[in-house]
Amino acid sequence: MQSTLMRLWARYRLAFKISFFMLLALGLYLGMRPTPTPAAYNWQASLYHAGGLFSLTVLSYLAFPRWRWWFRAVFMFSIGVAVEYVQSFHPTRTAEWADIYANSSGIAAGLVLASVYIFFARRQARRS
């Protein structure tokens, strides 16, 4: 079972990389465009931030499995900070600490989910 999963993972690595860069481009576009993404409630914007960086973090594990966890965390965090930094220069957008906290929580959740999966996958491989 494990070898089948690894073969599939290796087979679709290019698709994961393309998906990672497409999601990154979409996130950068949405974060840096002149008008913010519509949100009826304030918590929805935080959910967009957390969900986007969570998805990007998890997808980065599939696309780039050799990255160290700390490099992945710093890279993802720098993406979120860069978007907020660009927003601070735009007249119709504002940079907010709450967005950076939401970004960080999405990254942390993605790192935890991937780490738990890797732990159980290695444990399963040792048993086989």
Per-residue pLDDT of the chain (128 residues; tens, 9 = 90+): 456 667 777 889 999 999 999 999 999 999 888 888 787 777 888 899 999 999 999 999 999 989 999 999 999 999 999 999 999 998 888 888 999 999 999 999 999 999 998 888 778 778 76
The answer to whether the beta carbons of residues 111 and 104 sit under 8 Å apart is no
Distance linking the first and last C-alpha atoms of the chain: 9
Residue 112's Cβ-side half-sphere holds a number of Cα atoms within 13 Å equal to: 6
CA distance linking residue 127 with residue 78, whole number of Å:
38
CA distance linking residue 66 with residue 74, whole number of Å:
15
The answer to whether the beta carbons of residues 104 and 96 sit under 8 Å apart is no
